[in-house]
Amino acid sequence: ITFVLETFLPKLSGGPGSGKGTQCAKIVNNFGFKHLSAGELLRREVASNSEYGAMILNTIKEGKIVPSEVTVKLIQKEMESSDSHRFLIDGFPRTEENRIAFEKITGAEPDLVIFFDCPQEEMVKRVLSRNEGRVDDNIVTIKKRLIVFEALNLPVINYYSKRGKLYTINAVGTVDEIFEQVRPVFTGKQLIG
């Protein structure tokens, strides 16, 4: 999910390897949001050896979901310490519990939510061919991440669909082809930064 927050908060959603991070970089370059990736914030927390670091690392290795209070706090801290009011949230909320906790704690709702719809075999292929060597990029963990995604993320997507905030993007094709579907979502809403 990509979720845009300000008065304007877009959110990006999609399975592991659907291309959320790649498209976020292009959205930021073209439309000037502050990008907040839940996965990156968690990996940064692990690298800093914080009190939650070991628990987060184990959860990521297992392909499971880190508790909401941890992710919401990390995102909230980043939002509060930023000069921007235009946030592009990537990979959050992943569960109904995430969504409810975020809305309760921050009082914020996304202006729009983008879902990258990608076949599982394509997501697996992309994750396994990624060359940055993440601890969760192996066939055992990716299968667990896909199961978690199907079970927990799809209800969140359905929720935003019912609220009329969901834009579904066909995430198969080149990075530029996919971005040409994403661009009108932002230009149509006059979200040019």
Task: Please report, as ranges, the residues that interact with ligand AP5 according to CB under 6 A.
Answer: 14, 16-22, 38-39, 42, 59-60, 63-66, 71, 91-92, 94, 98, 126-127, 130, 136, 145, 174-175, 178
Q: Smallest gap, in angstroms, from Cβ of residue 186 to ligand AP5?
A: 18
Q: Smallest gap, in angstroms, from Cβ of residue 39 to ligand AP5?
A: 2
Q: Smallest gap, in angstroms, from Cβ of residue 190 to ligand AP5?
A: 26
Specify the residue, 73 or 190, whose C-beta has the smaller distance to ligand AP5: 73
Specify the residue, 89 or 191, whose C-beta has the smaller distance to ligand AP5: 89
Burial class (CB in 10 A: 0-12, 13-18, 19+), 121: exposed
Question: Tokens for 12?
Answer: 């990006």
Q: Smallest gap, in angstroms, from Cβ of residue 189 to ligand AP5?
A: 22
Q: Cα separation of 191 and 137, whole Å? A: 34
For residue 13, the 8-state DSSP code is E
Specify the residue, 19 or 110, whose C-beta has the smaller distance to ligand AP5: 19
In sequence order, the 6+-apart residues with CB closer than 8 A to the CB of 42 are 56, 60, 66, 70, 71, 74
Distances (CA, A) of 86 to 5, 7, 107, 191: 6, 8, 15, 9
In sequence order, the 6+-apart residues with CB closer than 8 A to the CB of 70 are 42, 45, 52, 56
Q: For residue 26, which of 85, 114, 136 has the smallest C-alpha distance? A: 114
Specify the residue, 33 or 190, whose C-beta has the smaller distance to ligand AP5: 33
Specify the residue, 80 or 176, whose C-beta has the smaller distance to ligand AP5: 176
Q: Smallest gap, in angstroms, from Cβ of residue 5 to ligand AP5?
A: 15
